[in-house]
Amino acid sequence: MTNVAVGDMSPELSGAASGVFNTTRQLGQALGTAAVGALLQATLHHTLTDEALRRSAGLPTAHRQEFVDSFEAVGDSGLFAQAPGNTGTAGAAGQQMQQLSTEVFNHGFVSAMRWTLLLPLGFAVLAALCCLGIRNHRAAAAPTALMNRPADTPVEGTSP
């Protein structure tokens, strides 16, 4: 990739071209990481809430809303101040909520990651298509140079 970026540059400009290429690459990595993180956070909020709603049906009616609210709070803030679903409920209901919260997080996170991975995959496909469009200008110029040479001039790399 570096050869494509700086290959046609004159020696005086190759250092500057390399610097611009490396800066652009690092900026792309930082923006890509931020975009994937933001998409994961947004997707995680929705998948955790949906999964909590679906799995809370097995809880006693009195604990369903607090269970779902604990996952909504995590999605809204993006922080795990306490384990979602761990509302301090004791006894069998507390153990059931703890088990369900583990299941909600595992399934919600995996589901969110599936959708989030589509973003870098899309960019990889786009980059591959762009690479197909890169032409080798030196190879294209060689046949033209051979056609325009005088007939008695030897071709480079052959003996007379």
Q: Which position has the higher pLDDT, 21 or 149?
A: 21
Average pLDDT over residues 49-64: 83
Tell me the C-alpha distance between 1 and 7, whole Å. Answer: 10
Residues 6+ apart with CB under 8 A from 36: 116, 119, 120
Write out pLDDT tens, residues 99-147. 888 888 888 889 989 989 999 999 999 989 988 887 765 655 555 555 5
For residue 143, CA distances in Å to 139, 146, 149, 154, 156 come to: 8, 5, 10, 14, 12
- Look at residue 81 and tell me whether its pLDDT is greater than 50: no
Q: What is the pTM of this model?
A: 0.61
Helix count (H) and strand count (E) of the chain?
Answer: 6, 0
Is 32 within 8 Å of 117 (Cβ atoms)? no
Q: Across residues 30-48, what is the average pLDDT?
A: 89
pLDDT of the residue at 23: 92
